[in-house]
Amino acid sequence: MSASMPTKCQKLRLDETYEGKQGFSYFQGIARETTGSQGICMHILRIPPGGRAKAHLHESHETAIYVMEGNAVMFWGEQLEHFMSTDPGDLVYIPAGVPHLPINTGDVEAVAVIARTDPHEQESVRLLPELEDLVPA
């Protein structure tokens, strides 16, 4: 193992949150800042009914999402021209550099596990305010 790699297994509890650039609160999970991870992060996201992210992308990191509860939609693509709806049990893959904007259009909270290949989680987030008006409120 290299000197910068963690040398012990760790367990975390979902008791602290942080505000992401995307406009949501995330439960602090596995990241370089919490565990010293080198190539991955994993968090729980809870989106309240009507909750909407800011249009954004992750510059050089892939994202994997597992929808646990609730329903949400996601607009994605260079002009957010594509549409995807999600239900509990769905797995979603977002390639690096793909603009996207998720919205909870349901009447219950949506809950998802999110994993990224960015150990810092927020470092590769780039907001895209120029795309915001392409998705109706």
Check residues 13 and 115 and name the one with the higher pLDDT: 115
Render pLDDT for 42-67 as a digit per residue (tens, 0 to 9): 988 889 999 999 999 999 899 999 99
CA dihedral 122, 127, 132, 137 (to 10 degrees): 20
Can you give the pLDDT at residue 1?
45
Q: Please, which pLDDT band fits residue 23 given cuts at 50, 70 and 90?
A: low
pLDDT for 25: 63
